[in-house]
Structure 1
Amino acid sequence: MNIGLFFGSFNPIHSGHLIIANIMAETTDLDQVWFVVSPQNPFKKSASLLHEFDRLDMVNAAIYDNYSLKASDVEFNMPKPSYTVDTLTYLFEKYPDKKFSLIIGEDNLKSFPKWKNSHFILENYQLYVYPRPDVQPSDLFSHPNVKMVDAPMIDISATFIRKCIKKGLSIKYLVHDSVAEMIQSKKYYF
């Protein structure tokens, strides 16, 4: 089984994440897409992060009816900050019957050489890349393990959603209805 790993803070998970994950599951050779909820991204500050279990609950609520998508808490018990290469190594050892690939935005491909052990990842794993707006082309496009996926260019950010919530504006259509209900009932990001 070929699993696409979609790493992120998902703070909160939004329609852009869901659209990209579904396109990956429907239009590529990936059998499933796992949303790997990151407790702490090494490149982001953690001050505005909702607790990881709350973010995992929102991911589960958003994808409950799609069997091609799965939420993963694999990084919750790993050293923080979590690095993709360590998570890949752990999953490879835990699930030797599965093939793992990465799903990343075109903006992350440009900065990919800065990732811990990026050369090892690139040589041993497929990267499924979705387009992002206003990104300079990467030299990695020609690498045989990099696959550009035809997907809509979506420019929705969790930061924008959190700002809307703080201002009391509607987030309808930006997030799944079940996620909006959780945010409202639990007063997340207020």
Structure 2
Amino acid sequence: MVAIKAWTGLPVRAGMTVGLLGGSFDPAHEGHLQISRVALKRFALDRVVWLVSPGNPLKARGPAALVKRIAHARALVTDPRIIVSDVEARIGTRYTAATLDALRAAHPGVRFVWLMGADNLQQFHLWDRWQDILRAVPLGVLARPGWRQSALHSRTARQYRQHMLPATASQLLPMHVPPVWCFVNMPMTAQSSTAIRARGDWRE
């Protein structure tokens, strides 16, 4: 079957399970790769798409130029199942809910899963239309150093506790009708974009 390459430019086709990992990737690093590899296995995904955002609405300071972040991420990725995309810049969305609306409309038949680290689950209720996101796609949450307990006691986790899928059933996540979410543990890495920038290893 020929892959659908709609105006989003994503090489995905109906019947695929595709994880979406959003962020500024300022810069992308081994931790992003690790999360993606674990997500591919634990959630039985065919692809993971890095949605490199033009800018994070929750952050006051803007990231490095998009073209630089995209180029760096693509140079880092060697697994063909991991796709680096600037789709949000091309379709003009800045918020996850709007991006999901566009991708689901452009790619009917693709089972999308939104991926995030535990640190993002802790403040997920601050996201624009956060409950619409939960009603739109399954949510795959991956452990991050120091964030497990706060994430599992976050407002989102408490409010949607009855919709939590056990980690032992994580590979079934894409098949469940949302709202549904699953928290999985993974080998921890302390590497972060913030630490890389603080060391001066990432410059304009």
- Greater mean deviation of Cα atoms: 119-128 or 35-44: 119-128
- In 1, the alpha carbon distance for the partners of 2:103 and 2:35 equals 22
Please report how far the alpha carbon of residue 53 of structure 1 lies from its aligned counterpart in structure 2 after TM superposition.
1.2
The CA RMSD measured in Å over matched residues stands at: 1.7
Identity of aligned residues (%): 33
- In 1, the alpha carbon distance for the partners of 2:104 and 2:136 equals 11
Residue of structure 2 equivalent to 1:20: 35
- Encode CA deviations 1:46-80: one digit per residue, 9 max, x unaligned: 44x211111111111111x2111001111112446
In the alignment, structure 1 residue 86 sits paired with structure 2 residue 120:
no
In the alignment, structure 1 residue 110 sits paired with structure 2 residue 131:
no
**Residue identity matched to 2:57:** P
Secondary structure (helix, strand or coil) at the match of 1:129 reads: strand
Residue of structure 1 equivalent to 2:177: none
Please report how far the alpha carbon of residue 19 of structure 1 lies from its aligned counterpart in structure 2 after TM superposition.
0.6
Q: TM-score, normalised by structure 1?
A: 0.80
Please report how far the alpha carbon of residue 161 of structure 1 lies from its aligned counterpart in structure 2 after TM superposition.
0.8
Residue of structure 1 equivalent to 2:19: 4
Gapped runs of 5+ residues in structure 2? Answer: 1-15, 165-179
Please report how far the alpha carbon of residue 96 of structure 1 lies from its aligned counterpart in structure 2 after TM superposition.
1.1
Residue of structure 2 equivalent to 1:159: 194
**Structural mapping, 1:20-59, within 5 Å:** 20-47=35-62, 49-59=63-73
- In 1, the alpha carbon distance for the partners of 2:68 and 2:163 equals 37
- In 1, the alpha carbon distance for the partners of 2:119 and 2:100 equals 21
Secondary structure (helix, strand or coil) at the match of 1:30 reads: coil
- In 1, the alpha carbon distance for the partners of 2:30 and 2:18 equals 21
Gapped runs of 5+ residues in structure 1? Answer: 167-187
Please report how far the alpha carbon of residue 162 of structure 1 lies from its aligned counterpart in structure 2 after TM superposition.
1.6
Please report how far the alpha carbon of residue 141 of structure 1 lies from its aligned counterpart in structure 2 after TM superposition.
4.7
- In 2, the alpha carbon distance for the partners of 1:24 and 1:149 equals 9
- In 1, the alpha carbon distance for the partners of 2:190 and 2:162 equals 25
Residue of structure 2 equivalent to 1:73: 86
- In 1, the alpha carbon distance for the partners of 2:145 and 2:88 equals 29
Residue of structure 1 equivalent to 2:182: 147
Secondary structure (helix, strand or coil) at the match of 1:155 reads: coil
Please report how far the alpha carbon of residue 125 of structure 1 lies from its aligned counterpart in structure 2 after TM superposition.
0.8
Q: 1:141 to 1:131 in 2, by over 3 A?
A: farther
Secondary structure (helix, strand or coil) at the match of 1:165 reads: coil
- In 2, the alpha carbon distance for the partners of 1:103 and 1:72 equals 15
Residue of structure 1 equivalent to 2:172: none
